[in-house]
Amino acid sequence: MAGIAPAAHAAGPGLDRRELRRTLDEVPKGGIAGAYSAVQDGWQRWRGAAGLADLEAARPTRPAMYHRIGSITKTFVATAVLQQVERGRVRLDAPVEEYLPGLLPDRRITVRMLLNHTSHLGDYDTALITGPDSLEQMRVRQYTDEELIRLGLGVGPSGEPGDSPGSYSNTNYIVLGLLLDKVTGMPAERYITRHVIQRAGLSHTFFPSTPELPRPHAKAYTSFFGSFPLRDFATFNMSWGGTAGAMVSTMEDLNRFFHALLTGRLIGQAQLAEMRRTGPITPGPGIPVTFDYGLGLVAYDTPCGKLWGHDGGVIGMATLSLSTLDGGKQASSGINMTWHPGTDAGEQAWAAHAVGAVCRTTSGFAASDAKKLLLDASAPVKR
């Protein structure tokens, strides 16, 4: 895979709007149907869209489209758990057994191990995504949290609790959802809505209650690596994602969220420090690449130093959100095509756009670096 050419950037402070437009336009040229993006630098804002939301109707993308954000949901959930730590209702290093007796077979697993993926609980995705036909089954199936946890436990552990590197598993965050249910006395989704989403001032972010996305939204295309012609999966029962990956948002709302989080509006500095304590995890058992993962937060090495955020991948949609440590600058971008042959160049351009939006340069940023930004968005690839 060829490296990504360095992107030009303007001298001096501020957003280089021409360069943001240029790099976003490279995404559909690389084979991705469409992309949308929002960048925030202090009081300066930019948003853009490129390519098509609907290939058949030739309908263009729009910047404010609703989008399934996948595992960026985990950062919201981790924030809610750390709020409970702040209130003294949860201890990070307490066994999960203390809060949810009998749920997990290994009593050594702690709350922190769920948050940073060192529990080594099996990932229920492995049991759900087994081939092309499984996508249509998942589209209409209603899953309970308990069922997803049983599926994850059935996959088997990827190691001993606390072992390094950890192994990324959606099962961890379904368990954390049940933990929030227990300690807050209300459904986790309701608590997160009231105490994270609303507190951050987000007006277009929510847990879906139906399979439909609100308008405007793009179609969500995949061919499952060429197993069938491109198909739209925008309508989807997201019960399989739950508190691990079901949320819907917009790119501007994601920027507002990470700004609020990293500037201390949602949790205090002590809990932010815990969130930023990272260790290596792999995308799945036996995969040689590692990511620096904290408590629901990923640390990315980029041309301008370490950036913080998360990515998310669902069937047909992927998202990447990046922020500076001080919360002063954010970039969030989504695409509406995943797991389709011939899109490598588009994915590389997408990652380069997001990094360049924050760093103002992608000098030295190669194709291999683009892959290292996608912990979750390439889910079936990791198996």
Catalytic residues: 71
Stated as kind and residue range, the H or E segment containing 52 is strand 44-54
CB 56 within 8 Å of CB 232: no
Question: Could you tell me which of 193, 213, 189, 190 has the C-alpha nearest to residue 203?
Answer: 193
Q: How far apart are CA 337 and CA 323, in angstroms?
A: 24
Structure tokens at 235: 């309508």
Q: How far apart are CA 11 and CA 214, in angstroms?
A: 40
CB 117 within 8 Å of CB 172: yes
- What ranges in the chain are assigned the alpha helix state H? 17-29, 73-86, 111-115, 125-128, 132-140, 145-155, 170-184, 188-192, 242-245, 251-262, 269-275, 344-359, 367-371
Using alpha carbons only, what angle is made at residue 261 by residues 259 and 263, rounded to the nearest 5 degrees? 65
Q: How far apart are CA 18 and CA 98, in angstroms?
A: 54
Neighbour-count burial of 139, counting CB atoms closer than 10 A to its CB (0-12 exposed, 13-18 middle, 19+ buried): middle
Do you know the residue count of the chain? 383
